[in-house]
Structure 1
Amino acid sequence: MQIVTKRQAAPPDLPRLIQDVLAELGYNVDAAAVAEQVRRLDIGLPAEDEFSVVCAWLGKCQLLHKLDQHQVPISSKQEFQVPDLLAKFSTQTSKTPVLIEVKSKNEPRLSFRPDYLERLQNYADLVGMPLLVAWKFHTVWMLFEVRHMKKAAKNFNITLNTAMQENLLCSLAGDVAYKIGAGAGVHLRFRKDKLLSSEKTEIGYVEQWAMTIDDVYFTNSEGGRCTDLDGEVQSLFTAWDLDEKEEHADTHVHRHYVAGAEGMQFAHTTLVQLLNWESSSDERPHWRGLLRKEQVTANVTDFAAALDMAFRKKVVSHIFYTQPNALPDFLKPSV
């Protein structure tokens, strides 16, 4: 049994309630300004939680935790900025963890002010750890060394193109890109049991039937039936955009959900698709709650193993392991 927790809608008088609480606490501040700060936190913190869940799910993360950003003395904030996360991955050839600053921005360029970047780098230099940036662009995550951000007229920028070329999510965290082979899919056969109604229209007869599903089967990219696909491989179809086709015969209706020739998907975007499939609501995944779970998805316990099995069964036709143009020192083989 699946238990779904739904978020309660905000009351219409929420600003007044916030103002009442602030008054009780003795704070003379603008409730609207507080609400805006909370809204901005709701944008930033879920991105950190989502990236943390993604790294844990991909399977190469040994440790990842948030860094407490309440620092003293207050004057230190002029020199140091504590990054969002500290992480250690099994793929690293160095013993030193990495620092990660998390950003979510849907414009094709990410920009840091010079003073902001300097404070982040000062902290990284202080503790002697590499500084990385995790950038969520719409649904796609990228992870790159901060040194790839270049000074423009005023700020330090990185384009989407450069961030993808220097993406470490595969080589460091275990992400892959893959493709379900054209022709692989799931097929359902409905037996027509009883005609309920028939009406003649301008385009022909419209019929309603009582039907029973009497056959369900999967095919691989060669068109052959797969009779022994386990549940985890079958779940890959739920996270892929399949083409639909329907055929009618005298005794049956056939529905086909088949992968086309185009398309490629990252493992980390598949995670969101799987979570949406498993959820009975249309709300976004609750990343903070998922951080506390040992198993993130209900239907896939080991995505890498499922992908490998799907490749051997010829359901997945391609698996891509990407490397950054410039391999960082903490991923280079030790000599």
Structure 2
Amino acid sequence: MPIDDKKPMPVDGARLIQDVVAELGWDADAASVAEGVRRLDIGLPAEDEFSVVCAWLGKCQLMHKLDQQQVPVASKQEYQVPDLIARFSTQANQSPILIEVKSKKANVLSFTPDYLKRLQNYADLMAMPLLVAWKFHSVWMLFEVRHMTKAKTNFNITLSSAMRENLLGVLAGDVAYRFGVGVGLHLRFRKDKLVNTVQTEDGSTEQWMMTIDDVVFTDRDGNRRKDVDGEVQSLITAWNLESQEEHTDTHIHLRFVAGKEGIQFAHKALVQLLGWESPSDDRLHWRGFLRREQITANVKSFSAALEAAFREKFVSHIFNQQPETMPDFLLPR
């Protein structure tokens, strides 16, 4: 791996090198160490993504990974260190919580009895609640481990049960929302000069020099708006808008409009926003986002932007999900 001396080492670069050397040994060749550092810098996508999501949603006061290099080695037979420890401003208690992170595309999440017992032993030892963060395709859920029930052998939780007991909203600040029908972005391109015409079997293709001479947003009441806050604009463009195109003799009109269908979770909007801001189509580098003071460049506070979008008549609904079973650490005392 070539070294770019113009690119500064990440703030946690020394720790990455230390972890790789500890695993490979001091006699490992430089190429192996460099590749190991690169892989660690890419990170564990599920853990890093969940950490970025919680940081962005605005209710997380502290979250970090737990070092799972246990000693003595025999302790691994009794204890399993979870992935993360966290504290949220929404908690009614003072104790942090422990979170085990999983990414599974099956509609049932399963833990072996031994694995679950070792996780719970650690949580009991620390006297902390134990939660599971589950990424199902692109959707995150967060629930207490006690909702996993024993099947024939393993302890399972179904997708529907995890959704019903989801704490990501009440604990971390996640919401679901919907834009009003007709909300959208409208661009008008003026045809300045015909550059070229190519004849085809179906007619012809024209190449024009054009100028954007009008940009306007529409709200859910159909009003044309140009006084739209920048963060609200970002939320609109991150929505799954339907494209429409109209040609006249003098202009081309491009319209990107919200339809009747669709509900978006805040944590999924984050992925959309980061996708817009990323310089390429490569997968998102979640570990890199963890180092940022402000995760998204265009939306500093998602909750404030969403409230503004509702107040300004762009968002039509905001849904705050409550779990079926409210945990003790969220109950007011």
Q: TM-score, normalised by structure 2?
A: 0.87
1:197 positional shift: 3.1
Q: Deviations over 1:179-234 (max 9, x none)?
A: 11110000010111112234555544433222111101111111111221111100
Q: Deviations over 1:64-111 (max 9, x none)?
A: 111111122221111111111111100011111111000111111100
Aligned counterparts of 1:54 and 1:169: Cα–Cα separation in 2 = 10
2:186 paired residue number: 187
Distance 1:201 1:283, change over 3 A: closer
Please give the secondary structure, in 1, of the residue aligned with 2:280: coil
Q: Does 1:208 align with 2:207?
A: yes
1:253 paired residue number: 252
1:333 positional shift: 1.5
How many aligned residue pairs are there? 308
Higher mean alpha-carbon deviation, 300-309 vs 219-228, is at 219-228
1:120 paired residue number: 119
Q: Does 1:298 align with 2:297?
A: yes
1:48 paired residue number: 47
Aligned counterparts of 1:44 and 1:22: Cα–Cα separation in 2 = 17
Contact 1:60 1:172 in 2 (8 A): yes
Distance 1:325 1:125, change over 3 A: same
Question: 1:169-188 to 2 correspondence within 5 Å?
Answer: 169-188=168-187
Higher mean alpha-carbon deviation, 304-313 vs 230-239, is at 230-239
2:135 paired residue number: 136
1:162 paired residue number: 161
Distance 1:61 1:93, change over 3 A: same
1:238 positional shift: 2.5
Aligned counterparts of 1:230 and 1:274: Cα–Cα separation in 2 = 16
Aligned counterparts of 2:294 and 2:43: Cα–Cα separation in 1 = 24
Aligned counterparts of 1:78 and 1:280: Cα–Cα separation in 2 = 45
Contact 2:215 2:226 in 1 (8 A): no
Q: Deviations over 1:263-311 (max 9, x none)?
A: 0111111111111100111111111111111100111001100000000
Q: Percent identity?
A: 69
Counterpart code for 2:141: M
Aligned counterparts of 2:320 and 2:63: Cα–Cα separation in 1 = 23
1:25 paired residue number: 27
How large is the Cα RMSD of the aligned pairs?
Answer: 2.4
Aligned counterparts of 1:246 and 1:54: Cα–Cα separation in 2 = 35
Please give the secondary structure, in 2, of the residue aligned with 1:326: coil
Aligned counterparts of 2:43 and 2:133: Cα–Cα separation in 1 = 12
Contact 2:42 2:287 in 1 (8 A): no
Higher mean alpha-carbon deviation, 166-175 vs 245-254, is at 245-254
Aligned counterparts of 2:67 and 2:282: Cα–Cα separation in 1 = 29
* Structure 1 segments (4+ residues) deviating >6 Å: 21-24, 41-44
Aligned counterparts of 2:55 and 2:242: Cα–Cα separation in 1 = 32
Aligned counterparts of 1:309 and 1:248: Cα–Cα separation in 2 = 34
Distance 1:47 1:76, change over 3 A: same
Contact 2:41 2:287 in 1 (8 A): no
